[in-house]
Structures are given as structure tokens and as C-alpha cells.
Amino acid sequence: MLTGLKQQLIELELYLLKSEVRTSAKELSALIHDDFLEFGGSGIRFGKEEVLIRLPQVKCPEFSATDFELRMLAPDLAQLLYRATILKPNEFITRYSLRSSLWKEEDGRWQLIFHQGTPCEAF
């Protein structure tokens, strides 16, 4: 069961990193929980409304994600931990971060309810 759930949440997480998803408020709205909260690498805190306004207007960076780990916090709440590299448009420096996403299941559907990306040294 956990292996299947881990794969499902990894696929959802990677889907959220795709340019065509990040530029679609409709896709983002379906994947992000109404109570969503994020602490960005810049230290700024924002919710779903800010994501739906800002993200579709931003040119998507290139992401690479590895080393996924799943932790079940409750039957309907899972934490996905991973490492990410980010190359922003018009930059030549790869950024590294440790990431934590909380996924909540409601009505048989998993949605992202919390995310934090913390900048770190290269790995």
C-alpha cells in the first residue's frame, strides 16, 4: 500500500513542477488544498490564493527532484521529503534545496496542503 501511495504522491509532486501545470490556475487549483500554506526559499509565507495569482505569471524554472522519502503522519496525511535542483530562466547557477510537502487526502483525492523549500549546499 505505501509503495503505491509513495509512487502516486511522487507523481503528483513532479506533475506540480511541470511548466504547463504551473501556468494553469485551473490545474493548480485542483491539486492544491484550500488551506494550503508555503514557506518559500526566500522566507516568504503564502497561501493558495497567492499561488494561483503569481505562479501562472512566472516563467517556470527547470526542476530535478531525487531521493524521495514518504512518511505517514496520519491515515489521511503524508509527508513527502526530497532533494531538488532548480535552474531559473536567464540564470546560470543551479540552486539546491531540501523540500517537504504535506499531502492531505479528502474525498479520495490527495491535495498539497503544505510545502517548504529550504536552500542548501550542493549535493
Q: Output the domain CATH number for residue 67.
A: 3.10.450.50
- For residues 23 and 42, give the distance between their C-alpha atoms in angstroms, rounded to a whole number: 21
- For residues 21 and 31, give the distance between their C-alpha atoms in angstroms, rounded to a whole number: 10
Cell of 86: 532548480
Convert the pLDDT of each residue in 66-89 to its tens digit. 999 999 999 999 999 999 999 988
Contacts of 11 (CB under 8 A, 6+ apart): none
Convert the pLDDT of each residue in 44-59 to its tens digit. 999 999 999 999 898 8
pLDDT at 40 over 60: yes
pLDDT at 2 over 80: no
Domain that includes residue 88, residue range: 2-119
Structural domain count of the chain: 1
Q: pTM here?
A: 0.93
The larger pLDDT score, comparing residue 6 to residue 2, is at: 6
